[in-house]
Amino acid sequence: MAAIEATGLVKTFKSRKNSVKALDGIDLEVPEGSVLGLLGPNGAGKTTAVRVLTTLMAPDAGSARVLGHDVVKEADTVRGLVGLSGQYAAVDELLTGRENLWMFGRLYRLNSSQAKQRADELLETFDLTDAADRILKTYSGGMRRRLDLAGSLIAHPKVLFLDEPTTGLDPRSRLDLWQIIRDRVSEGVTILLTTQYLEEADELADSIVVVDHGSVIARGTADELKAKVGGERIEIVVHDPSETARALELLTAALEVTDPDATTLDQHNKRITLPAPGGSTALVAAIRTLDGAGIRIADVGLRRPTLDDVFLSLTGHAAEEVES
Q: Which residues bind another protein (CB under 8 A)?
A: 51, 54-57, 76, 79-80, 82, 84, 86-95, 99, 103-104, 106-111, 114, 117-118, 121, 125, 135, 151, 155-156
Q: Residues 298, 239: contact at Cβ < 8 Å?
A: yes
Q: How far is the CB of 89 from another protein (least distance, A)?
A: 7
Q: Residues 199, 222: contact at Cβ < 8 Å?
A: no
Other Cβ atoms less than 10 A from the Cβ of 37: the count is 26
Q: Residue 188 or 316: which CB sits closer to another protein?
A: 188
Q: How far is the CB of 323 from another protein (least distance, A)?
A: 15
Q: How far is the CB of 65 from another protein (least distance, A)?
A: 17
Burial of 323 (C-beta count, 10 Å sphere; 0-12/13-18/19+) = exposed
Q: Determine phi and psi for 138, rounding to 5 degrees.
A: -90, 0
Q: How far is the CB of 295 from another protein (least distance, A)?
A: 51
**Going by C-beta distance under 8 Å and a sequence separation of 6 or more, which residues neighbour residue 114?**
105
Q: How far is the CB of 40 from another protein (least distance, A)?
A: 17
| Alpha-carbon torsion angle 40, 27, 34, 223, nearest 10 | -60
Q: How far is the CB of 115 from another protein (least distance, A)?
A: 9
Neighbouring C-alpha atoms within 13 Å toward the C-beta of 230: 19
Q: Residue 4 or 84: which CB sits closer to another protein?
A: 84
Q: Residue 156 or 288: which CB sits closer to another protein?
A: 156
Q: Residue 106 or 271: which CB sits closer to another protein?
A: 106
Q: Residue 191 or 307: which CB sits closer to another protein?
A: 191
Q: How far is the CB of 92 from another protein (least distance, A)?
A: 6
Q: Residue 134 or 213: which CB sits closer to another protein?
A: 134
Q: How far is the CB of 153 from another protein (least distance, A)?
A: 10
Q: Residue 107 or 245: which CB sits closer to another protein?
A: 107
Give residue 315's Cα distance to chain centre: 16
Q: Residue 56 or 237: which CB sits closer to another protein?
A: 56
Burial call 281-316: b when 16+ CB within 10 Å, e when fewer: ebbebbeebbeeeebeeeeeeeeebebbbbbbbbbe
The two beta strands, 233-238 and 215-220, are: unpaired
C-alpha dist (Å) from residue 232 to 55, 197, 282 = 42, 21, 10
Q: Is 240 left (phi over 0), alpha (psi -120 to 50) or beta?
A: beta
